Amino acid sequence: MSQFFMSILIIVFGGFLSLILARQFKLMKMVAVFSLSAGCFWGLFDAVTKLMQSGSDAASFKYLNVFSLAFQIDGLSAFFLVVIFAVCLVAVIYSFHYMDHSGEAVRTAVHYFFFSILIASMALVVTAANMITFMLSWEIMSLSSFFLVIYNYESSENRKAGYLYFVFSHVGAMFIFAAFGIVYGYTGSFGFGAMDSIPETAKIVVFIFSFIGFGSKAGVFPFHVWLPHAHPAAPSHISAVMSGVMIKIGIYGIVKMYTLLNFHTPLFGNIVLVAGVVSGILGVVYALGQHDLKRLLAYHSVENIGIILIGLGIGMIGVSSGNPLMAVLGFSGGFLHVLNHSIFKSVLFMGAGMVLHKTGTRTIDALGGLLKKMKITGATFIIGSLAICGLPPFNGFVSEFFIYIGGFKGIGLENSAFVMSIFAIISLAVIGGLALACFTKVVGVVFQGEPRTKAAVNVDEKGSTMLASMLILAGACIFIGIFPGAFIQMSIKAVSALGLGYGHVPLEPFGQMTANITFAAMVFLVSLLVVIAIRWFYYRGKTITKSGTWGCGFTQPTAKMQYTGSSYAASILEFFSPAAPLDEDHPKIKGRFPEKTYYKSHVNDIAELNMKGVIVNPVLFIFDKLRWIQHGDIHLYIGYILLAIVLLLFFI
Amino acid sequence: MIESIILWLLAILLAPFFSAIMFKVKAFFGGRKGSPLLINYYTLIKLFKKGSVYSTSTTAVFKLGPIISFTSAITVLMFLPIAGHHPIFSFNGDVIFILYLMGLGRFFTIAAAMDTASPFEGMGAAREAYFPIICEAAMFMILIFFYRLTGHLQLSAYFTGDNTIALWNLGGAPLLFIVISFFIILLTENSRVPVDDPATHLELTMIHEVMVLDHSGPDLGLIELGSFCKLFFYSTIVSRLILPFDFKISAMGYFVFVLGLIIVYVAIGLTESVIARYRMDKVPQFVLTSFALAFFATIITLEFI
Amino acid sequence: MILHPVDTILSLVLLSVLFSFGSSRLPGLIKVLAFQGIVVSMVPFFIGHDMNGGGIVFTFVTLLIRGIIIPMSIYIAIKKVAIKREVEPIIGYHASILCGLGLIVAATYISRQLNIVSISDYKLLFPTAIALLVAGMFLLMARRNAIAMVLGYIMMENGIYLVGTTISIRARHIVEFGILLDVLAGVMIMAIILQNIKRTFDDVDTANLRTLKE
């Protein structure tokens, strides 16, 4: 445990140092990046060792003589620690060249400070062993990330995003508090251990409350509204950390509650699976309709959280219907997807960050042809896209494969488990297809073709640390995709820490499956090499000419005539129009020589659309009625304080 | 094993021939004599002899497109039981791998099309990205059906030896729907009429053909050969489903298999001759029918088993 | 078990439900319904209880009316009179197909709940019958075009006929009741056609008058 605390200390210390050195821009950056990455590396090393030895480690401190702060690292926390430290390590390295506005030295220093706090608090959340510790770290995590979201506070849009995030994370925290409160009401202790002794109905309520609370952090539909606003607002490496890691802490919370409650009703599995299916499909549909590159990626986080929840849901159904293989497949697939998503989503956000950094725009339809100038960024972005679509031989495929196999195990069952499994498999297939459509759109419109505006013409990709971190992550995508063995073992270790009552989970069938994946990937790669050889053979000594694209008879094509992202997605969006209503704005074209015209479209998120009517307006109505409390008279306010103190004394 | 490899090679080599049968049927219905049965080989040889012209807009992805789509097509064939024989490779869950591998091929075909900056190719790409989504759902529905019947998740458990007969015994009437559903998927995935008309002259209305407009020479040859292989893959499965018989004498087995293939290709030709292409917005409904059929078959099997 | 005739036929009936939900034009819908009528009327042949001479003739007549005469008359009627060919859906085709699947699942579930003993030999019979009833109702609800609504009614009637065959192995009168409903449907069709002819001719008249004015 001391190793873990040392790494946390180094990270936080680095954050403080950056505040002290705020005047020296270069030095501050170097010190901050060095100490943060050193801390992350140490923590990563420690977490991997702990996970592989599958030991459990605990420590506790007294705080204010009343509460004890308790920490524990078991397989599950170690797995999430690996994810946290691995992605943060790369994100910190990336930030070195990304944060290059020396005029904003103080702001950068503050950003490093909050970044270090965010990493530390995330690590503390997953190791927390009682409610007080958990909520304390949880709140620190929410607050530090809030300050990172409003990094560019000048723009009102970002302030609004930060505000939305603030509200959502605190309403979510309120639900978690409520859940913990119910537990405390029954057990009278802040410890996690006594949670499985509460009555079953209370367990259901606690689970649903905590699912809403953690789900709002994880970005589960319909609690995801903050996510597409907040993620694009932050600097890109922070978006990567938030999208790749922080929302997974919500997943950790859901799994942790499931484990602690130790109540294996089919209801939990069904709730989680249905939420997963809805977030998965709607997340990717909304992503398809976005025009902002980072918003699009943010919606894909909703989608991938959906996939993870489908995996977990299959696992829970497997547990409740007494099918150990299905349970382990579902859970380990879900956990592996947590790791995989954190990797490829970080690549994608970093690639988007590079694009934003060099072109100054996030609008997809303003870009084009970037692959020619930004070879490494483009290549890593394409690898990330292939991985997020779940295509072999990349890492996304491995975790989806596990979830699929788990789902098919459920097909052999009866009644609701059977129906739910059908539901899960079909929606996974649809999500896969939609993700493919979405990322061919992004890759095709942003990186290929010809530049659509001036912003995309003169670009380069300088910044060695940025390129290096993207290459590391893209390499990881390929490596996990071809040799998933060790990573699957890691996720199975995490599953066995859930204490599902199967004792030691046998690794043998999974070893066979990973061997199959490796084998199939190898078969594909060997045939790829053969085909490349054949192609090379046929192109020996041939004349290769360059010429313009065939315009189907039209001789004056311009870059403006290219297919845009909006038109690319239009027909698919129309299919989903009941769930994703499209607002269009364009004037009618009149006359033989029409004036310059425009076209605007916006896909409405039904959660966002209905949030106003269902929640915001009634709440405003109630608060309106309470406005008389705010009278403006200072004596009255002192009176309120007096009243509050008297009441408190009365109750205590 | 040796036999499987020979069959695999034969499949790649003979796929263009079977496609020519389809053209012959269409020519017959059009009142023409039609091109010779070896026409596809002549075309391929011609293409492989040529050099290439590349658009100045393109990048390396454009060259990767044909390579990866062809590789995925022939890799998929390695997992396919041909004429009831064991495939070269097979493992539990290989069907999922196959489906996603085809997805990989599609990703690169689309990416190569978007690479040319041509509005027409973008249009084709958008359609290519759209329709297979529903197809994939239908495919997985069929897989669910097969899994429910056999408890396996690999192609060899459905289509080798007397497994297919067993499938009919277990499934009965609902399998008919699976055959129709699969045939619809075949038409959609291989861009045949009524989803897409490969023979049309207007780029605006094409799906697959417009995406490969800028490819030339051996690259185009790889694409063509890849699409023949893809059609062969689907046709083999349908052929095995409609003639599931297993014979002790292997020559008889091959004969029946080839007969089944010819029936399938003739059926495709017939469909192309008698049905007009659907309007683009009607296509999703057509593909949805295949999903509905597969779903429906699964519901009925719930009754039977 | 391989290709049991009754189950195969009933699968085709269910299939025709799905197709009817997906068809956007009246002629197509009529063809689907004609197919459904023929197939539904064929069921008694294969169930094979008391298929004596009278029974065979009786079934043949039903087949003739249900599968040929009614669809033909509607078809001819819409050919002669200019009625809109679109079925004018209130619920879209994609949604309709998915609804159809849901209806079939629901029908299967309901028929299992009811669990009628006498028909347990043919597992698909009762679910199909209920599915037809519900699907006909759905067509009535979800299509604006009057003819499409009549076709929905005919589909319901097919369902009633199937229920009749399931229960009335001896009780013929329910089948006769089916015929009665056929006639009723015929009357309804005629009424609508007459009304349409009237309206169309009115339309034609006014158009003619306007051309005269110019």
Contact across the interface for A563 and B114, Cβ inside 8 Å: yes
Domain boundary among A232, A255, A278: A255
The two three-digit tokens of residue C121, written as one number: 């030999």
User: Are A428 and A333 in contact, with CB atoms under 8 Å apart?
Assistant: no
Report how far apart, in Å, the C-alpha atoms of B252 and of each of B12, B248, B258, C56 are: 21, 8, 10, 43
pTM (2 decimals)? 0.91
Percent of chain C with pLDDT over 90: 0
List the structure tokens of C144. 């604006």
What totals of helices (H) and strands (E) does chain A contain, helices first? 24, 5
Q: Parallel, antiparallel, or unpaired for β A582-585 and A544-547?
A: unpaired
Peptide bond into A235 cis (omega under 30): no
In whole angstroms, what is the distance from residue A511 CA to residue A531 CA?
30
Query: Does residue C127 lie in a domain region?
Result: yes
CA-based angle B217:B222:B228, to the nearest 5?
Answer: 125
Q: In whole angstroms, how far apart are CA A110 and each of A8, A20, A28, A101, A118?
A: 18, 10, 11, 14, 12
Distance from C-alpha of C199 to C-alpha of C193, rounded to nearest angstrom: 10
Q: What is the number of other CB atoms lying within 10 angstroms of the CB of residue B240?
A: 27
Domain around B245: 2-304
Comparison of pLDDT for C85 and A629, the residue scoring more = A629
Q: Which residues, given as ranges, of chain B have pLDDT below 50? A: 305
Q: How far is A437 from chain B (nearest CA, A)?
A: 5
Of A389, A401, A543, nearest to B107 by CB-CB distance is: A389
pLDDT digits (tens, 9 = 90+) for A177-216: 999 999 998 988 888 888 888 898 999 999 999 999 999 9
**What residues form DSSP beta bridges with B54?**
A546
Q: What are the tokens at A412?
A: 């052999």
For residues A159-168, average pLDDT? 92
Chain-chain contact of B299 with C123 (C-beta, under 8 angstroms): no
Domain of residue A628, residue span? 609-651
What chain B residue is nearest to C22 in terms of C-alpha separation?
Answer: B285
- pLDDT single digits (tens) C129-178: 888 888 888 888 888 777 787 788 888 888 877 877 766 555 555 565 56
Residues of B in contact with C100 (CB under 8 A): 292
Using only C-alpha atoms, what is the Rg of chain C?
19
Contact C17, B185 (CB under 8 A): no
- Integer angstrom CA distances of residue A118 from A81, A112, A122, A137, A430: 13, 10, 6, 9, 35
Residue A270 counted as domain residue: no
For residue A555, the chain B residue with the least C-alpha distance is B118
Answer whether A321's CB lies under 8 Å from A418's CB. Answer: no
What's the pLDDT at C200? 58
For residue A393, how many C-alpha atoms fall within 13 Å in the half-sphere facing its CB? 25
CA distance A426 to A404: 10
Nearest of B79, B232, B75 to residue B160 by alpha carbon: B79
CB spacing of A440 vs B129 below 8 angstroms? yes
Interface test with A, best of B89, B107, B223, B303 (most A CBs within 10 A): B107
Domain total in chain B:
1
Q: B8 — phi, psi (to 5°)?
A: -65, -45
* CB neighbours of residue C173 within 10 Å: 10
DSSP helix/strand/coil, B263: helix
Domain assignment of residue C72, yes or no = yes
Tens of pLDDT, residues C2-31? 567 777 788 888 888 888 888 888 888 888
How many domains does the structure of chain A reveal?
2
Query: Residue A116 corresponds to which tokens in the numbers above?
Result: 């270090």
pLDDT above 50 for C212: no
- Residue C91 class from Cβ within 10 Å (0-12 exposed, 13-18 middle, 19+ buried)? middle
B26, two tokens = 């269409």
Find tokens 């996030």 and name the residue.
Answer: A362
pLDDT at A363 over 50: yes
Average pLDDT over residues A398-415: 90
- DSSP letter string, A257-294: HHHHHT---HHHHHHHHHHHHHHHHHHHHHHHT--BHH
pLDDT at A480: 95
Distance (Å, rounded) from C-alpha A390 to C-alpha A304? 11
Residue A393: asked if its preceding bond is cis (omega within 30°), the reply is yes
pLDDT, position C86? 74
Choose among B170, B172, B303: nearest Cβ to C108: B303
- How many Å apart are CA A89 and CA A87, to the nearest integer? 5
Expressed as residue numbers, the domain containing C160 is 5-201
CA–CA gap between residue A88 and residue A342 (Å, rounded): 10
Residue A159 in any domain: the answer is yes
Residue A161 lies in a domain: yes
Q: Binning pLDDT at 50, 70 and 90, where does residue C206 land? A: very low
Q: Are C35 and C16 in contact (CB under 8 A)?
A: yes
Residue from B8, B57, B213 to probe the interface with A (highest A Cβ count within 10 Å): B57
Chain B hits for A519, CB-CB cut-off 8 Å, are 89, 91
In a domain, residue C38? The reply is yes
Contact C100 B292 (CB under 8 A): yes
ipTM reported for the complex, 2 dp: 0.95
Would you say A443 and A327 are in contact if contact means Cβ atoms under 8 Å apart? no
Nearest to B280 by CA among A422, A572, A419: A572
- At C63-96, the pLDDT tens digits run 887 788 778 877 777 776 666 677 777 787 888 8
Which residue on chain B is closest to C112 by alpha carbon? B303
Provide the token pair at A425: 């498999």
Given this model, what pLDDT does residue C167 score?
63
Chain B residues whose beta carbon lies within 8 Å of the beta carbon of residue C7 = 172-173, 300
Q: Which among B57, B66, B91 is the nearest to A449, CB-wise?
A: B57
Cα–Cα distances in angstroms (integers) from residue A170 to residues A217, A624, A626, in the given order: 10, 21, 21
H or E element that contains A601: strand A600-603
Q: What is the dihedral of CA A127, A130, A135, A138, to 10 degrees?
A: 10
Mean pLDDT of chain A: 90
Q: Provide, for chain A, the percentages of residues in helix, strand and coil under a 3-state DSSP scheme, each rounded to the nearest 5.
A: 75, 5, 20
- Is-cis flag, bond preceding A266, omega within 30? no
Pick from A473, A447, A225: which is nearest to A355 by CA?
A447
Residue B248: CB atoms within 10 Å: 6
What pLDDT score does C207 carry?
44
Asked, for residue A355, whether it belongs to a domain, the answer is no
Confirm whether C212 is domain-assigned.
no
What pLDDT does C52 receive? 66
**Rounded Cα gap, residues A160 and A164, in angstroms:** 6
Please indicate, yes or no, if residue A183 is contained in any of the structural domains.
yes
**pLDDT single digits (tens) A28-73:** 999 999 999 999 999 999 999 988 887 777 888 877 667 788 899 9
CB contact under 8 A, B148 and A412: yes
Q: For residues B122 and B113, is the Cβ–Cβ distance under 8 A?
A: yes
- The neighbouring-strand residues paired with A71 are A59, A128
Contact check, Cβ <8 Å, B117/A523 = no
Q: Is residue C13 part of a domain?
A: yes
List all chains that touch chain C, counting a touch as 3 or more CB pairs closer than 8 Å.
B
Q: Are A347 and A470 in contact (CB under 8 A)?
A: yes
Residues β-bridged to residue A477: none
Question: What residue in B sits closest to A547 (Cα-Cα)?
Answer: B55
pLDDT of residue C54: 67
